[in-house]
Chain A
Amino acid sequence: MPRTLFAKIWDAHRVAGTPGGADLVAIDRVFLHERTGAAALNSMAAAGRAVTDPARVFAVMDHIVDTRPGRGDATLMPGGQAFITETREACRAAGITLIDVGDRDQGIVHVISPELGIVLPGVTLVAPDSHTCTQGAFGALAWGIGTSEAEHAMATGMLRLERPGTMRVRFDGTLAPGVTAKDMALALIARHGAGGGAGRAIEFAGEAVGALDMEARMTLCNMATEFSAMTALIAPDAKTFAYLAGRRHAPAGFDDRYWATLSSDPGARFDAEIAMDAAAIAPMVSWGTSPEHAVPVEAAVPRGPARVHDYIGLEPGARLLGTPLDAAFIGSCTNARLSDLRRAAAVLRGKRIAPSIAKALVVPGSMAVRRAAEAEGLDKVFEAAGFEWRMSGCSLCFYAGGEGFAAGSRVISSTNRNFEGRQGPGIRTHIASPETVAASAIAGCIADPRPLLAQIPSGTVAA
């Protein structure tokens, strides 16, 4: 019987069933971070439970680390330093690999796991972070879990899971210039709702998905959690293998025979199917407090719940284009990879952000991304334009109580969430692609990136 990619990976990891009808699924990789790493490891230690296979557990400092140059363990979040030092101690005691604050490999978990070749096609990978689905871009079954589940995976090598339903989301056709994977994700969520993925394992497929490079595929899969999906995945192809070749933790030789099986068979049945016309997608920007509150940048604000309009300060029918902004943020596991920074820098080159933009940050997704960007001079472009150039971390993707934007600021952000207060109390966040953030920062108001992109000589920036 034809099987989906999801079914192939699940079945290969199914150790046993349970009397309750769940499956015990073997977990190949666990990735922790300092926000919850100490809680999970200390709780295990207190219960007298050891990590089954420490060589397959990794941890990184990314969530609350300071991102200002010269940083150490001190962090702007009140009490935050304890999370860092306790996680370091707990990782040492458990014998797991820690990528520490000052390491050259440090970065956001979902950026560095692929960079280091820790995620591989066909593996199961979990982390106590909802955006772990990002790594499904490699044809891995990767999903976010809670702290208790992280303990469970480390202590037993398995998780108890109800088999989720499947959904295929096809993007047919070709994206127009200036339209990105971020816009694809926002268009999907806007059309089908933030609950549209309903606990399902999603496979992204179709011409426009195949045409995406690996970094764009990560952006697309990253947003699956904003669609309420359990996870998302994309069948690995030549691009996937080329990306992973030579990465530190990737195998020296690829298991071609196994990896060649990692796609959905023709005729495989999904529990639900959605088709999107890629050519009809425009640059998207969110107007409200859920990622489903997103529209093409030139559209008017639709009517939503009254409390959403009250919070965001935009009435139904208002134009988004021209809405004044106070701050701009380029960063996060969604859109802070080298290609994202290149595209934003191409828009910003030779320009200045508007005087009304009180704070503008670029926070590279990893220190490797930061070094690569500096080798191309992108840091100079950002700084000349008026952006601060930071060390890597999750930074102001969320507000941890330390560094923030001024109360009530309206922020254009390359991140994944525009929740009430996500970037700080009273902060109004508009999520968009890095090029839309860059164009809007220059204009000082929400702007369409396409006119500026059209001025860039072709060939000067990778798509």
Chain B
Amino acid sequence: MNPFVTLTSVAAPLLRDNVDTDAIIPSREMRSTGRTGLADGLFAPWRYLDADARTPDPAFVLNRPAYKSAQILLGGANFGCGSSREHAVWALVEWGIACIVAASFAPIFRNNCIRNGLLPVELDRDAVESLAGRTVTVDLPEQVVMDGDTRHTFSIDAEAKAMLVEGLDAIALTLKQRPAYEAWLAQDRANRPWVYP
């Protein structure tokens, strides 16, 4: 996973509440059993006037010339709600989004972001809206979004921050704790034998 430290990009506004993962990538666009080949289906219901013919809707934010190379996406409350499909994050990352600034995130989506190096930033709604169309810098170590002289600080838990800044492989990291798990398991097998077939 690529580390996330700082990022400067125009912020593309998709200022709607409850942007769900069916909108980010509908089930019908998940055509491969792997993690790639998904960018073409990103936001298909909104991005295309005709999804089958792939006719772009010029009004959709990511189709507008100013945002074609945006790496920051702005959202409203409860961004990424709905299905747990990680394809939503894979599609965003493949398209080029590296950071989403939203009023709040759905829990599974937020976790999927962190596991794929995509930074989820929560700011209050006014702050999110003020960034629309601006070229801003996100500094994760400093936990700040800078828009000219305006600095919006954000909170992120230390675990997620470390994972992102260092680009850590969560599984490799956890496997180092194998002895602790084995000790827990031995105890638990005695306490709750019915858990283990």
Contacts and interface: CB of A to CB of B under 8 A. Distances in A.
Contact of B177 (A24, A35, A38, A149): A24
B174 A148 contact: no
A30 B191 CA distance: 20
Contacts, number: 189
A56 B188 CA distance: 14
Interface string A404-439: 000000000000010111100100000000000000
Contacts of B170: 148, 152, 160
Contacts of B17: 194-195, 290, 305
A389 interface: no
A122 B42 CA distance: 39
B23 A419 contact: yes
Contacts of A421: 22-23, 26, 45
B159 A160 contact: yes
Interface residues of A, number: 80
A156 B175 contact: yes
Interface string A179-194: 0000000000000011
Interface stretch (B63-71, B111-119, B128-136, B145-153): B111-119
Contacts of A19: 158, 162
A205 interface: no
Q: Which of A26, A253, A307 is most buried by chain B, counting CB atoms within 10 A of its CB?
A: A26
Contact of A39 (B18, B35, B89, B108): B35
Contacts of A69: none
B27 A130 contact: no
Given A78-B31, A194-B78, A421-B45, A146 B174 contact: no
A299 interface: no
Interface in B16-52: 16-18, 20, 22-23, 26-28, 30-35, 45, 51
Interface string B161-187: 111000000110111011011001100
Contact of A26 (B111, B159, B184): B184
B123 to A, nearest CB: 15
B195 interface: yes
Interface stretch (A170-178, A393-401, A454-462): A393-401
A16 B192 CA distance: 19
B6 interface: no
B107 A199 contact: yes
A305 B107 CA distance: 24
A28 B174 contact: no
Contacts of B28: 77-78, 399-401
Question: Most chain-A CB neighbours within 10 Å: which of B22, B107, B159, B178?
Answer: B107
Of A36, A123, A193, which is in contact with the most chain B CB atoms at under 10 Å from its CB?
Answer: A36
B156 to A, nearest CB: 10
Contacts of A120: 194-195
Interface string A12-34: 00011011111010101000000
Contact of A146 (B18, B89, B184): B89
A157 interface: yes
Contact of A255 (B106, B174, B192): B192
A353 B190 CA distance: 57
A71 B160 CA distance: 44
B180 A16 contact: yes
A157 B51 contact: no
Nearest to A226: B81
Contact of B78 (A43, A79, A195, A425): A195
B57 to A, nearest CB: 13
A10 B26 CA distance: 34
A128 interface: yes
B86 interface: yes
Interface string B46-84: 000001000000000000000000000000011001111
A314 interface: no
A326 interface: no
Given A56-B197, A148-B116, 4 more contacts: A15-B181, A82-B33, A149-B111, A228-B104
Interface of B: 16-18, 20, 22-23, 26-28, 30-35, 45, 51, 77-78, 81-86, 89, 104, 106-108, 110-112, 115-116, 157-163, 170-171, 173-175, 177-178, 180-181, 184-185, 188, 191-192, 194-197
23 contacts: A20-B163, A39-B33, A42-B33, A55-B196, A79-B31, A120-B195, A146-B85, A147-B35, A148-B112, A148-B115, A158-B181, A162-B159, A195-B18, A195-B77, A195-B78, A195-B81, A225-B81, A228-B107, A229-B107, A230-B107, A398-B22, A401-B28, A421-B23
Interface of A: 15-16, 18-22, 24, 26, 28, 35-36, 38-39, 42-43, 47, 49, 53, 55-56, 64, 77-79, 82-83, 86, 120, 122-123, 128-130, 143-149, 151-152, 155-158, 160, 162, 164, 193-195, 198-199, 225-226, 228-230, 249, 251, 253, 255, 258, 289-290, 292, 305, 307, 398-401, 417, 419-422, 425
